Amino acid sequence: MKPVTIIGIVVILLGVAGFFIGGVSVKDQETKAQIGDLKITAETQKNYPIPPWAAGLVVLAGVGIAVYGFVNKR
């Protein structure tokens, strides 16, 4: 199997995973104040949703790359 075809299959799998995951959540912890040994920290959580249309575009791009890998004679 050609490397381009493998890359296409991986991109397809990433797009399908985007449909099921729905988004990425990131936690961040930062120190707000520090006095001697006493630390006051705040933890924030940010959600980055993956729109279904973006996941669909990634799947289509992966299909295009995989087809190119199958069709290319080199």
Q: What are phi and psi of 31, to 5 degrees?
A: -85, 125
pLDDT digits (tens, 9 = 90+) for 10-56: 999 999 999 999 889 999 999 889 998 899 999 999 999 999 999 99
For position 53, what pLDDT does the model report? 94
pLDDT digits (tens, 9 = 90+) for 41-50: 999 999 999 9
Question: What are the residue boundaries of the structural domains of the chain, listed by start?
Answer: 3-71
Q: How far is CA 31 from CA 25, 39, 40, 43, in A?
A: 20, 7, 6, 9
Q: Is the dihedral of CA 14, 18, 19, 20 positive or negative?
A: positive
The pair of structure tokens assigned to 35 is: 């006095």
Higher-confidence position of 54 and 74: 54
